[in-house]
Structure 1
Amino acid sequence: MKNLILSFFLLINSIVIAQSSIKGKVTTGQNPLPSANVILKKTNKTTVTDSEGNYRFTNVPQGNYDIIASYTGFTADKKAISVTDSLDITVDFDLKENNSLDEVVVTGTLKPVSRLESAVPVEVYKPSFFKKNPTANVFEALQNVNGVRPQLNCNVCNTGDIHINGLEGPYTLVLIDGMPIVSGLSTVYGLSGIPNSLLDRIEIVKGPASSLYGSEAVGGLINIITKKPYSAPLFSADSFTTDWGEFNLDLGFKANLGKTTSVLTGVNYFNYSNPIDNNNDNFTDVTLQDRVSVFQKWNFERKSNKLLSVAGRYFYEDRWGGELQWNKSFRGGDEVYGESIYTKRWELLGAYELPFTEKMLFNFSYTDHDQNSVYGNTPYIAKQRIGFGQLTWDKKINNHDLLFGSALRYQYYNDNTTATVEEDITWIPSLFVQDEIAFNENHKILLGARYDYNNNHGNIFTPRFAYKWKVNNNNIIRFNTGTGFRIVNLFTEEHAALTGSRDVIVLETLKPERSYNANLNYLKKIYTNKGAFIGIETTAWYTYFTNSILPDYDTNPNQIIYKNLDGYAVTTGISTNIDMIFGNGLKFIVGATFMEVSKKEDEIKTQQILTEKFSGTWAISYRVNPLYLDIDYTGNVYGPMRLPLLGDLDPRAEYSPTWSIQNIQFTFNKFKNIEIYAGIKNLLNWTPNKGNPFIIARAHDPFDENVKVSDGNTNDTNNYGQKGNFVPNGQVVDTADNPYALTFDPSYVYGPNQGIRSFLGLRYTLR
């Protein structure tokens, strides 16, 4: 018995002796990183660093381990260690700012590749970038991306789209996890309510990508990529409010269901119900909104380790703008003007890697968009459904990296407008192939081609060519050229076709637009002796359009005229992004774009409406470690844009001024898992009504009851707003009540009406 007891104590003693402790410090340059995550692989041990960047694991058994340190906005670092005795082991980490140059991207070539190795330039933006200026949706968040501008299309309902390099929103394809579920009618709504807790990164390609993605990828594409469950926190919450009364709540949850299934859930809720009219036109400055979005993503582990994931989202929004006295009892009537939109969306997307030796992937998506809206007394009831399936085969043969693909897209659209006589059903089968040829480490070309058949427009062929020259590790040159095409549905893309007093005139059957593009990209990396990093990326582009379909506001101020351009349109420019990271905690992200977007018809060249000639963005960040404080100063600036006037007597400025939106934020992160942030948006209190007598034309007479029109041949006039008295092609007559000969029109909009406001928020993350 004594021998047994002695053996037991010797065993316990040997176990204790065999266990060690691991300690260390996580820094960036000379500065400690508090609240950094440290994981000891092969164990259940995780911890976070203290205020000085220190961490410690105790009672670590003998063995070989990987230890990983990570922090949002920095590149994670992994080190291998061997524990052989009871001594303390010190493992320090020096994390580098993640400048996104070494990110793995998928958008440019439909396959994972290092951003530095991609033949197609891809810009990557992580959640840490968007946290510098917190917003309630992705649409607003993109305002600080160089060359990308969220464009409001209406002063009343505040719907909008995304401009890339000066091209209108319908030229940009928006994807979620690579699937084109956001399109046409749903673009602005698809970019709203995506829970930030599920956002892994946003990849942006500027320039045509139709050879891989088909129609709409003419000006560029935005790919919103959600997190994988293994990289997501167990729980996250992010909520903020502003002194205007806006409230945003973002929640994320992760759970494991058995050994092979994990599920990620995100919920976003936004509410703004405080009518404000600072420009005194009796219209809401900002649309009132009540929005909820629920997103869920399921990942299944298979014995073959092949991919299987399914995700879905439900989105509902009730938004309205209009006269301050409007309420839902006036919806659709002609007593009080309001624009009210009820939106419901269902989205489903997934990926399944086929159980073959070859790497074959099937992706699918489906979206159902139901919109019930009224613009004054004009109803617009629309349904849009988009189904998409795509099979790709990724095959490498010697120095050829091949991709073969086949896709089928189904589009359904129907509305209550007179322009839509019957429901529109479109089938678009596609075939595409891509060959990336690596001649050596420094030279690579990419060849691609896509064939689409549209049951309304026939055969469409889009080729592509790209060349990448890696001069050395710090200098890369890329050249891309290709074609694009776009098929237009006016009522899903042009808000101006639904609201205001202008009549929509379609002069002909609209043909698909075609584009021919070339761009040259140069990437330069500079590392200084003091540990600083400077990244410079410059792109010059030229795009030529035939069959362009641009809204004509100029020929007749009472009409919007659509037809294929009898001439051509051109967009050309140069854009530069500069990232500067210093060891003292200071970081600069600065961008500038200079461009010209014009059209030429009948030998007359004009600047496209609502397109700036130059723009700039910046994000300046500084970390004050002793105070546990991050300071972010962000902003943008836009040059003059030509604006849609209603006639020669219209007193509003023909061109917008140079204007800027600037913001500052302070983030306090002393407490474990918690960030408290506060700041001010629109520091300059800029709004577009400054320098203008009014923004909305005849806001006091939104139903045009007192507008007089004449046919131009007689002296007879009629009241424009009264039923039965409409004069075809009539000209508005200036009167004592209407000295500028205007009709009600909210389309004179180029920037947000929301002035200076403060915000306060809290983030909590449990890993």
Structure 2
Amino acid sequence: MKYLFLTITFSFLQLTYSQENKSITGSITHKTATIEKASIEILGTNYIKQTDNNGIYAFSDVPQGNYKIEVSAAGFKTQRKNISIQVAKQIQLNFELQTEDNELNEVVVSGTLKAIKRLESAVPVEVYTPVFFKKNPTASIYEALQNVNGVRPQLNCGVCNTGDIHINGLEGPYTSVMIDGMPIVSSLSTVYGLSGIPNSLVERIEIVKGPASSLYGSEAVGGLINIITKNPTNAPLFSADVFTTSWLETNADLGVKFNISKKATSLLGLNYYNYNQKIDNDNDGFTDVTAQNRISVFNKWNFNRAQNRLFTLAVRGMYEDRWGGDVRWEKKYRGGDEIYGESIYTKRGELLGTYQLPTTEKLMLSFSGNVHFQDSRYGTTSYIANQKIAFLQLTWDKKIGKNDLLTGIASRYTYYDDNTQSTALLNENNPEKTWLPGIFVQDEIAFSEKHKILLGLRYDYNSIHGNIVTPRFAYKLKINANNILRFNAGTGFRVVNLFTEDHAALTGSRQVEIAHNLNPEKSVNANLNYIKKVYFDNGTFLGIETTAFYTQFSNKIVSDYATDPNKIIYDNIDGYALSQGISCNTDINFTNGLKFILGATYMDVSNVEKGIKTRPYLTENFTGTWTVSYKINPINLAIDYTGNVYSPMKLPLLSETDPRNPNSPWYSLQNIQFTYAGWKNFELYAGIKNLLNFTPKQNNPFLISRTEDPFDKNVQYDSNGKVLVTPQNPYGLTFDTTYVYGPNQGIRGFFGLRYNLY
């Protein structure tokens, strides 16, 4: 009996000890850099964590058993490890991740304003990392987006080469462009603000296609582009990326990390771009590409605080001097009527930050501010503008049972002044001052592992237009780990200032006329998204993401170029506008180093007035993108073949006698790059851009009309203001720069060098 009692007692103590909950800790790194906000999940359980600012994670109270742990982070390949928890009280488990550019399991923040694994988010978010953009190196974020499916950089001026970003056929003002979730790039800066963001400081770019106004407010009508910058803690000690082209375009991105103290780390970035050639390959007497001299400085700070609370602060300053026009133009002709030129000076400053309040609740204070000064001459037309934007937002993140709540209050103040009639009242200057306070709530409810819904509602009060309400609904069905179905619906709104968004209104080649008081644009949007992942036995990975989308606009503002060739007439549409279609992204990774990233979007974009359906200018029906990559590991060589293809677009002609094509042709921009990485910390790359040597001038007699008479000194009109056909003006045209749909830059080579010191 004594031995039996001892045996039972020993067995009970052993069982009690073995069932005692254990802890798992570790770090997530890439090379020597730690990875912040990486997601760590014990599969098949509710244990999910994120790494802190130092790349550390910890699980406590984990029962004994055999588990599989999965780690994922934006820009890195997902990694899984098996672990057996038996007797040890604490287990150290570290992960070193490898970079990846097309994994479907990144951590994203743009869809719900909080970090979440992309496959777990009820809102579909596309993620693109520097690895993707390095396959076709560019000098700006604007150019870099040309290989993203459903996204098209659109040139709006054939002389100064300014542009915007189209998503699913919708013009740039319908897309909100943010830096670290702050509304930095908006209004006046949609024309020039996308330049000068150092690519070397970009951690990833998140794109939401569809309504985001319930979280982000005005401008997020058709989509959202969120540029996430690197955390200074995770950045290399020094990075450099310098390249030049055969057209003598030179771009330099530099980054330096400073460990100021144990509690503060700073990342300083510099972007410099210079192009000063007068190339006129289409022989129209005007520059094919705008000359630019741009410098941008970016400085971001990360502060380590108690309990890993967040505090980041960043500033950016940018100056740009660009001009295009007659190849004989010099600065002494600026603003005059002797030699035509478009000259733009831009000065811009930005401040943004996030501070987690020292409370038991998760309260996050975000703030941003920017000032933008522009001094422009479009021929003899002067456009001098000054814009200031201040933004403040407080959010509360709280989990209550199955409810993951996010509520917040926000306020934005916009000051805008220029020398046009848009800010004049009774011939006196009257700057526009707009307050836009708002409050929003979002509830993500996880009914089970398979079913999740998201409910959102935002209320804003515009000091000019009054009350605006934007609801949102999302549903996610996780059929299994490799099949995800999502449905999203919501509304959006946008308050318009034409002079800050439509470059055609500023060129001086046409007079602007506003038919009536313009009302805010509103939209209703729905999309259905399906993700399929397939892992083959031989190690090949296939990822397919398909989205069907539908957006209907009311009060859409349209520009009428046809009624009067000397005017652009703006008015709210008397009806509605549609953007609908389907897109598909496919990722294929073979074990031999061959990778495909393929995208295609078919869309129907139209304006419907009085039952008549018309197609807007500069909207394609089909766009396709591809990236084909192959790594030859024995010789450390990577080959990247990238490209896009666009279907015809309707183009703005000046009259029935205009000899230019009314529609663009099918066209494709294709590039190839070779990258050698055989030297430690170095990458040497070279290639060819625009392999097919496509330019819009092909099959057209000219692009810019009447470059020989840019001030219309020899144009004659009849009594109704119609341009007369004369021997000096055989087509009855005026000077016009709005006939443009693609970059007017042909084939060119490029060569560059990257260096990263960790």
**TM over 0.5, shorter chain:** yes
State how far apart, in whole Å, the 2-side matches of 1:135 and 1:619 are.
Answer: 15
1:550 aligns with 2:541: no
Which shifted more, 615-624 or 551-560?
Answer: 551-560
1:755 aligns with 2:746: yes
The Cα of 1:628 is off from its aligned counterpart by 1.1
Aligned partner of 2:232 in structure 1 is 229
Structure 1 residues 94 and 313 mapped into 2: Cα distance closer, same or farther (>3 Å)? Answer: closer
Aligned runs of 1:260-409 on 2, under 5 Å?
260-409=263-412
Structure 1 residues 80 and 476 mapped into 2: Cα distance closer, same or farther (>3 Å)? Answer: closer
SS in 2 for 1:318: strand
The Cα of 1:216 is off from its aligned counterpart by 0.4
SS in 1 for 2:103: coil
State how far apart, in whole Å, the 2-side matches of 1:593 and 1:448 are.
Answer: 28
SS in 2 for 1:508: coil
Of residues 728, 733, 750 in structure 2, which corresponds to 1:742?
733
Which shifted more, 171-180 or 554-563?
Answer: 554-563
Of residues 501, 507, 512 in structure 2, which corresponds to 1:499?
507
Aligned partner of 1:169 in structure 2 is 172
Structure 1 residues 70 and 609 mapped into 2: Cα distance closer, same or farther (>3 Å)? Answer: closer
Q: Deviations over 1:713-748 (max 9, x none)?
A: xxxxxxxxxxxxxxxxx1100111111110000100
Aligned partner of 2:23 in structure 1 is none
The Cα of 1:101 is off from its aligned counterpart by 1.3
SS in 1 for 2:421: coil
Of residues 31, 35, 47 in structure 2, which corresponds to 1:37?
31
RMSD: 2.2
1:665 aligns with 2:659: no
The Cα of 1:533 is off from its aligned counterpart by 0.5
Of residues 125, 150, 156 in structure 1, which corresponds to 2:128?
125
Structure 1 residues 304 and 73 mapped into 2: Cα distance closer, same or farther (>3 Å)? Answer: closer
State how far apart, in whole Å, the 2-side matches of 1:462 and 1:78 are.
Answer: 43
State how far apart, in whole Å, the 1-side matches of 2:101 and 2:469 are.
Answer: 39
Aligned partner of 1:641 in structure 2 is 649
The Cα of 1:71 is off from its aligned counterpart by 12
State how far apart, in whole Å, the 1-side matches of 2:99 and 2:75 are.
Answer: 11
1:487 aligns with 2:487: no
**Residues 373 and 387 of structure 2 are in contact (CA less than 8 Å); yes or no, is this contact kept in structure 1?**
yes
State how far apart, in whole Å, the 2-side matches of 1:320 and 1:574 are.
Answer: 39
**Residues 177 and 226 of structure 1 are in contact (CA less than 8 Å); yes or no, is this contact kept in structure 2?**
yes
**Residues 235 and 252 of structure 1 are in contact (CA less than 8 Å); yes or no, is this contact kept in structure 2?**
yes
SS in 2 for 1:419: helix
State how far apart, in whole Å, the 1-side matches of 2:81 and 2:711 are.
Answer: 66
SS in 2 for 1:650: coil
Aligned partner of 2:486 in structure 1 is 478
Structure 1 residues 364 and 38 mapped into 2: Cα distance closer, same or farther (>3 Å)? Answer: closer
**Residues 443 and 467 of structure 1 are in contact (CA less than 8 Å); yes or no, is this contact kept in structure 2?**
yes
- What amino acid is aligned across from residue 124 of structure 2 in structure 1? P
Structure 1 residues 93 and 186 mapped into 2: Cα distance closer, same or farther (>3 Å)? Answer: closer
Structure 1 residues 359 and 529 mapped into 2: Cα distance closer, same or farther (>3 Å)? Answer: same
Aligned partner of 1:469 in structure 2 is 477
- What amino acid is aligned across from residue 751 of structure 1 in structure 2? G
1:514 aligns with 2:522: yes
Aligned runs of 1:55-66 on 2, under 5 Å?
none
State how far apart, in whole Å, the 2-side matches of 1:623 and 1:576 are.
Answer: 25
- What amino acid is aligned across from residue 227 of structure 1 in structure 2? K
Structure 1 residues 451 and 292 mapped into 2: Cα distance closer, same or farther (>3 Å)? Answer: same
The Cα of 1:419 is off from its aligned counterpart by 2.6
State how far apart, in whole Å, the 2-side matches of 1:397 and 1:627 are.
Answer: 54
State how far apart, in whole Å, the 2-side matches of 1:588 and 1:40 are.
Answer: 29
Q: Deviations over 1:411-459 (max 9, x none)?
A: 0100001232010000011000001111000000000000000010000
The Cα of 1:602 is off from its aligned counterpart by 2.5
**Residues 533 and 582 of structure 1 are in contact (CA less than 8 Å); yes or no, is this contact kept in structure 2?**
yes
**Residues 411 and 438 of structure 2 are in contact (CA less than 8 Å); yes or no, is this contact kept in structure 1?**
yes
The Cα of 1:39 is off from its aligned counterpart by 7.8
Structure 1 residues 39 and 404 mapped into 2: Cα distance closer, same or farther (>3 Å)? Answer: closer
The Cα of 1:673 is off from its aligned counterpart by 0.5
TM-score by length of 1: 0.87
Aligned partner of 2:245 in structure 1 is 242
State how far apart, in whole Å, the 2-side matches of 1:611 and 1:326 are.
Answer: 33
Structure 1 residues 677 and 71 mapped into 2: Cα distance closer, same or farther (>3 Å)? Answer: farther
Q: Deviations over 1:483-526 (max 9, x none)?
A: 10010000000100011422111011100011011100000001
State how far apart, in whole Å, the 2-side matches of 1:100 and 1:369 are.
Answer: 37
The Cα of 1:195 is off from its aligned counterpart by 1.1
**Residues 202 and 225 of structure 1 are in contact (CA less than 8 Å); yes or no, is this contact kept in structure 2?**
yes
State how far apart, in whole Å, the 1-side matches of 2:539 and 2:277 are.
Answer: 49
**Residues 689 and 695 of structure 1 are in contact (CA less than 8 Å); yes or no, is this contact kept in structure 2?**
yes
Structure 1 residues 40 and 760 mapped into 2: Cα distance closer, same or farther (>3 Å)? Answer: closer
Aligned runs of 1:399-478 on 2, under 5 Å?
399-421=402-424, 422-478=430-486
Q: Deviations over 1:379-437 (max 9, x none)?
A: 10001111000000001110000111000000010000123201000001100000111
Structure 1 residues 268 and 584 mapped into 2: Cα distance closer, same or farther (>3 Å)? Answer: same
Q: Deviations over 1:186-241 (max 9, x none)?
A: 02422111112211000000011101011100010100000111211000000000
**Residues 500 and 747 of structure 1 are in contact (CA less than 8 Å); yes or no, is this contact kept in structure 2?**
no
SS in 2 for 1:520: strand
**Residues 276 and 284 of structure 1 are in contact (CA less than 8 Å); yes or no, is this contact kept in structure 2?**
yes
TM-score by length of 2: 0.88
State how far apart, in whole Å, the 2-side matches of 1:349 and 1:431 are.
Answer: 20
**Residues 37 and 70 of structure 1 are in contact (CA less than 8 Å); yes or no, is this contact kept in structure 2?**
no
State how far apart, in whole Å, the 2-side matches of 1:455 and 1:590 are.
Answer: 45
Aligned partner of 2:609 in structure 1 is 601
State how far apart, in whole Å, the 2-side matches of 1:165 and 1:471 are.
Answer: 28
Which shifted more, 99-108 or 242-251?
Answer: 99-108
1:182 aligns with 2:173: no
Aligned partner of 1:531 in structure 2 is 539
State how far apart, in whole Å, the 1-side matches of 2:110 and 2:73 are.
Answer: 25
Aligned partner of 1:53 in structure 2 is none
**Residues 405 and 443 of structure 2 are in contact (CA less than 8 Å); yes or no, is this contact kept in structure 1?**
yes
State how far apart, in whole Å, the 1-side matches of 2:483 and 2:360 are.
Answer: 37
State how far apart, in whole Å, the 1-side matches of 2:733 and 2:102 are.
Answer: 51
Q: Deviations over 1:54-80 (max 9, x none)?
A: xxxxxxxxxxxx9x9999764478899
Q: Deviations over 1:55-109 (max 9, x none)?
A: xxxxxxxxxxx9x99997644788999xxxxxxxxx9989584533111100000
Identity of paired residues, percent? 65
Runs (5+) with no aligned partner, structure 2: 1-29, 36-68, 85-93, 425-429
1:201 aligns with 2:204: yes
Aligned partner of 1:723 in structure 2 is none
State how far apart, in whole Å, the 1-side matches of 2:607 and 2:74 are.
Answer: 48
Runs (5+) with no aligned partner, structure 1: 1-35, 42-65, 82-90, 713-729
Of residues 588, 593, 598 in structure 2, which corresponds to 1:585?
593
SS in 2 for 1:342: strand
State how far apart, in whole Å, the 2-side matches of 1:99 and 1:237 are.
Answer: 24
Aligned partner of 2:4 in structure 1 is none
Aligned partner of 2:219 in structure 1 is 216
State how far apart, in whole Å, the 2-side matches of 1:486 and 1:759 are.
Answer: 40
The Cα of 1:557 is off from its aligned counterpart by 2.3
**Residues 79 and 97 of structure 2 are in contact (CA less than 8 Å); yes or no, is this contact kept in structure 1?**
no
State how far apart, in whole Å, the 2-side matches of 1:69 and 1:655 are.
Answer: 45
State how far apart, in whole Å, the 1-side matches of 2:539 and 2:81 are.
Answer: 20
Structure 1 residues 314 and 361 mapped into 2: Cα distance closer, same or farther (>3 Å)? Answer: same
- What amino acid is aligned across from residue 445 of structure 1 in structure 2? I
- What amino acid is aligned across from residue 489 of structure 2 in structure 1? T
**Residues 101 and 128 of structure 2 are in contact (CA less than 8 Å); yes or no, is this contact kept in structure 1?**
no
State how far apart, in whole Å, the 1-side matches of 2:519 and 2:671 are.
Answer: 43
**Residues 77 and 95 of structure 1 are in contact (CA less than 8 Å); yes or no, is this contact kept in structure 2?**
no
Aligned partner of 1:141 in structure 2 is 144
